[in-house]
Amino acid sequence: MQVRVLGSAAGGGFPQWNCNCRNCAGVRSGAVKATARTQSSIIVSGNGIDWALINASPDILAQIRATPALQPNRGTRDTGIAGVLLMDGQVDHSTGLYMLRERGRPLPLWCADPVYEDLTQGNPILKVLEHYCGVERHGIPLDDTPFAIDGVEGVRFSAIPLASKAAPYSPHREQSVDGDNMGLTLMAESGRRVFYAPGLGARDGRVDAMMRRADVVMVDGTFWTDDEMVALGFSKKTGRSIGHLPQSGPGGMLEWLDSLPPGTRKILIHINNTNPILDEDSPQRHVLTAHGVEVAVDGMAFEL
């Protein structure tokens, strides 16, 4: 099983188009040692030819340009993307579907019911796509039952609901329902597992069990501190209140990752442009390194 990070930044990307924070200004000028990143998405394949796209970011066209494995090579119209799975209905994970509209056949799409509702109602991307390629939609069991994505051989998927947040245009933004967000396990034929959760708002026993059985965890790296956006004057909302557990402090992600079994590979992903861990020379980044925690970057790839 091969996994590749297409985009490792949170919504907005890094640098964000209108942001002049220390990181964004610093990566533009070169004053901060950091790498630009596109918005949140990964791909997974069992054979290196046919891939599942997990989340469709608005940067998908640039991501495909940077990823030869996804480019057409078997005919006049072709793609390495055999199917798409959406883990939530947020803008950064779904609007890339528009960019895939030139398909000749309906796009095979896996998403949970609340996400399907949001993307046919509050943000009716899937309705709009009916005027182009359309989608062939499949549901996702949320009880960790393994399922396959047609055409992606050698990978099994399973999902559990997560405490995080639905998109602002969802009727359950303030009262989450199961399926608004999910944690996804990717399982190789060898039985080795990756647990992927780019939007993870709170620690709970079930998610912990999924993380403990995984060989690699790729989890929410959005914010270092809960009040990161508030302190910078960019928002009135804390990280936790928008469904992202911060890394630092009591009960934070770093403490959680420290508690996982030795040998677990730990990777933070979906990193917001304000997060000091993007600066490779920052004390916060050094703390992660000391704890054996990696920071995903676009193009990062591994095989299990």
Interacting residues with ligand MLT (CB under 6 A): 10-11, 90-92, 199, 242-243
**Structure-block tokens of residue 118:** 């949001």
Question: Phi and psi at residue 60, in whole multiples of 5°?
Answer: -55, -35
182 is an interface residue for Zn ion by CB under 5 A: no
- Residue 2's φ and ψ, nearest 5 degrees, are -110, 135
Which of 50, 59, 92, 220 is in the footprint of Mn ion by CB under 5 A? 92
Shortest spacing between CB 199 and Mn ion, in angstroms:
6
> Scanning residues 95 to 124, which ones bind Zn ion (CB under 5 A)?
none
CB nearer to Mn ion: give 11 or 179: 11
Q: State in angstroms the smallest separation of the CB of 152 from ligand MLT.
A: 25
User: What is the x/- site pattern for Zn ion, positions 260-279, by CB under 5 A?
Assistant: -------------x------
Cβ-based nearer residue to Mn ion, 92 or 228:
92
Closer of 19 and 218 to Zn ion (Cβ): 19
CB of 6 to ligand MLT, least distance (A): 15
Residue selected from 19, 53, 60, 194 as contacting Zn ion according to rule CB under 5 A = 19
Closer CB to Mn ion, 4 or 165, in the complex: 165
- Which one of ligand MLT, Zn ion, Mn ion, none is in contact with 185 (Cβ closer than 5 to 8 A by kind)? none
Q: What are phi and psi of 125, to 5 degrees?
A: -55, -45
Binding Zn ion by CB under 5 A: which of 3, 10, 24, 219? 24
State in angstroms the smallest separation of the CB of 108 from ligand MLT. Answer: 23
CB of 187 to Zn ion, least distance (A): 36
- The residue number whose beta carbon is nearest to ligand MLT equals 11
Residue 21, contacted partner among Mn ion, Zn ion, ligand MLT, none, CB below 5-8 A by kind: Zn ion
Among Zn ion, Mn ion, ligand MLT, none, residue 254 binds (CB under 5-8 Å by kind) = none
Instruction: Find which of Zn ion, ligand MLT, Mn ion, none residue 242 binds, CB within 5 to 8 Å per kind.
Output: ligand MLT
At 79, list the tokens. Answer: 């793609």
229 binds Zn ion (CB under 5 A): no
Planar angle of CA 219, 225, 229, nearest 5 degrees: 105
Classify residue 96 as exposed, middle or buried by CB count within 10 Å of its CB (0-12, 13-18, 19+).
buried
Pairing assessment for the beta strands 301-303 and 293-295 based on DSSP bridges: unpaired
* Six token digits for residue 39: 């918005």
Residue numbers of the site for Mn ion (CB under 5 A)?
11, 90, 92
Residue numbers of the site for Zn ion (CB under 5 A)?
19, 21, 24, 273
